[in-house]
Structure 1
Amino acid sequence: MSRKLKVYSNDEVVASAVGEGRVNVSLTGLEPATTYSKGKYKVAFEENGKESEKVNVPEFTTNSILITSISFVPETKTVKAGSHEQLESNIAPSTATNKSLSYVSNKPETVQVDENTGMINALEAGKAVITATTKDGSNKTAQITITVE
């Protein structure tokens, strides 16, 4: 027999699904990485035109939106010795919850990089590869080659 699962917020149905046995329903429009308190949402089943008592949904926290990719455009950059520049990365999706990156230089004697901000300091002629890594747990990386003249 088919039944309808209804999800309420402030006595208004915000989502529902019909099925037999176990019924799953998805809520849309929730904020990522947010905790919703017990009772913010309530659920009830409707079967044969009759609705069960509304029951509080327990406290829950929505998932973070993880970074799916990072990149540097262009992937190479030429700078003068003694210069300081901010690296600009492209992060997708733009709605990622935590866009923080950590940076490391493979040749800090040539190009130093602030591990938290991506600000580079070109020290001497040569090439260095800067690697940016996500801090949100997605383990995405991107690299840019810096040539110092």
Structure 2
Amino acid sequence: MKTIIKFNFLLVALIVSLTSESVFAKIERIYIYTDSEGLTVFSDRQPQKDDYVEQMIQPLKTVTWIRSDITINQITQKQRKKATKPAPKSAKSICTKIKQDLQKTENALSKRQKPEEFDLLKTKLADLRWRYRKKCA
């Protein structure tokens, strides 16, 4: 039963792909046979063995899409308004906090430190600068 379902599914998939507008659109018939390993083969060439099934392919009619109905990835008026709203006051307070942390870290770097502490402060400074550019700039 499973092989029949697989066979039907593969046949439908092959027919759909062969009838699409491509190089295979000119193929009018396919040959279905099993090879020496027992696998089902779909081919546009006639096999040498006499044990095969020949299937005619009917050309499909072209589908035309109505462009006015397609609204995928379209920004609505509501989304556009949300995108242009000014930042809330809480975002401004976050920016001031990040600025203060930046100044503290820069001041700490101006003093003499152990190499390990210096490296930690440098990475912290880079992270704060990145956060400031992302949220406040």
Q: With structure 2 as the length reference, what TM-score do the two structures score? A: 0.25
Larger proportion of strand: 1
Larger proportion of helix: 2
Q: State which structure, 1 or 2, has the greater radius of gyration over its C-alpha atoms.
A: 2
Q: With structure 1 as the length reference, what TM-score do the two structures score? A: 0.24
